Amino acid sequence: MIIEISRDYLRAEMEKVNAHPASFPIFERKADIILLKVFDVPSPGANVIKQEMLSLGGDAVVHKNAVDCKAEMSDIILMGTKKHYEALLNKLEKVNYFGLKKLREELDEYFKTKRPDHIESPWGRRITFESTRLMGIINVTPDSFFAGSRKEGLKEVLEAASDMVENGADILDIGGLSTRPGSEPVEEEEELKRVVPAIKAVRQEFPQIPISVDTYRARVAKEALDAGADIINDISGLQFDENLVKIVAEYKAPLVLMHIKGTPRDMQKNPHYGDVVKEIAEYFCERMEFAIASGARPEGIILDPGMGFGKSYEHNLEILSRLKEFKSLKKPLLIGASRKTFIGKALGDLPPEERLEGTLAVTALCALNDVDIVRVHDVKENRRVLALVEAVKCQRHS
């Protein structure tokens, strides 16, 4: 009999084989084949990398015309264990040609960078990421796409917050500006009137619950932070208000950088990408560089691919099937898919009110892929899904 074992259970299976415990870390390193893609390497350099990886026992995929340099540049898919990459970095130590110095620096930075295991608010509240966290949605709006999320008046806001906290929300996300497809923004004063009192009321009632404010406006962010909010959740990735990054830097506030193509008004008018994952990753790198250069704390940045924000049905599904690529950017990852249109389409064009089961499936998928935060409307149901998934995941380490 032959069976293929899961990498997650390698240590347990080695114990059953009665291998020497001192060998466990050695075999585990050999079992982790890491696939890395690097972009735009001169073809001579790509050929060097191909040969070096082969000599080390790894491999590399290059452009079919790289070998004779008929293609000027080549992307490269590297295949190797951590040991292979360490040896490759050593070999490239003194190489300064064919773009290989830059490649070495990028690889070195990749392996040295660790994903933050927590974020901390300006007020000392901390969110850790040893498991997937739940962000509950409270919309202080009359026009959000899911009617069940709309809260009018502080009584409804506090009732929703109480229910979410009781059922296991880790973060409450409060927004006063609908960003559904085709929506027009309300005036800043109206957004302030909706959001700030809601945050003050929730903070007074629930002193310890982390609160994020869903806004792209600097003034709203500032007043929300002063009212007790902890996190800025910006759908525009710091594009819509040039002053917002100054507030983030001044308060040292955690920041969600979301990807969006266009604006809420026009984002769903035939969105197109040559390579959706690559383009979102490039956007994240550029936006992080801007944020950090402007004073934002690198350890406080969270990335959100922006499900439904300038994405087709197929784009959304590809994002969910390739979460590992986004996690490789070494930042906490947030997915906000709750009751969105692509879920309804996958289930036969169901309306928002009938998309709960699809949302729960997405939450399970995210948890299995170690997504750090899922943003949801229905906290109790999603908490139960997470509890079961985490119970299964715990068996990997028991």
pLDDT digit string, tens, across residues 51-74: 999 999 999 999 999 888 888 999
Instruction: Report yes or no: 261 and 276 within 8 Å, Cβ to Cβ.
Output: no
**Per-residue pLDDT for 381 more than 70?**
yes
> Is 375 a catalytic site residue?
yes
Q: Regarding predicted confidence, which is higher, 12 or 265?
A: 12
Dihedral in degrees, nearest 10, Cα atoms 376, 381, 384, 389 = -50
The whole-number average pLDDT for the span 248-252 is 98
pLDDT score for 5: 86
Q: Tell me which of 290 and 94 has the higher pLDDT.
A: 290
Which listed residue (375, 383, 384, 396) is catalytic?
A: 375
3-state secondary structure of 118: strand
% residues pLDDT > 70 (the chain) = 99
Report the DSSP beta bridge partners of residue 79: 35, 59
Contact 201, 154 (CB under 8 A): yes
Threshold 0.85, pTM exceeds: yes
CB 101 within 8 A of CB 109: no
Bridge pairing between strands 133-139 and 171-175: parallel
Amino acid, single-letter form, for residue 182: G
Task: Give the chain's mean pLDDT.
Answer: 93
* Residue scoring higher pLDDT (31 or 165): 165
* More confident site: 30 or 90: 90
Q: Which of 50, 340, 355, 383 is catalytic?
A: 340
* Mean of pLDDT values over 94-105: 90
Domain boundaries, the chain: 32-112, 118-397
Where do runs of H (alpha helix) occur along the chain? 10-17, 24-31, 43-56, 82-91, 100-112, 154-166, 188-205, 218-226, 244-251, 276-293, 313-321, 323-327, 341-346, 356-368, 379-394
Q: Tell me the pLDDT tens digit for each residue of 318-346.
A: 999 999 999 999 999 999 999 999 999 99
Q: Does domain 118-397 have CATH number 3.20.20.20?
A: yes
The 10s digit of each residue's pLDDT in 109-145 is 999 999 999 999 999 999 999 999 999 999 998 777 7
Tokens at residue 224, please? Answer: 């929300």
Q: Which comes out higher in pLDDT, residue 164 or 153?
A: 164
Q: Is residue 206 predicted with pLDDT exceeding 90?
A: yes
pLDDT classification of 397: cutoffs 50, 70, 90: low
Can you name the CATH fold of 32-112?
Alpha-Beta Plaits (3.30.70)
Q: 257 burial class (0-12, 13-18, 19+ CB within 10 angstroms)?
A: buried
Contacts of residue 2, defined as CB under 8 A and 6 or more positions apart, other chains included, come to none
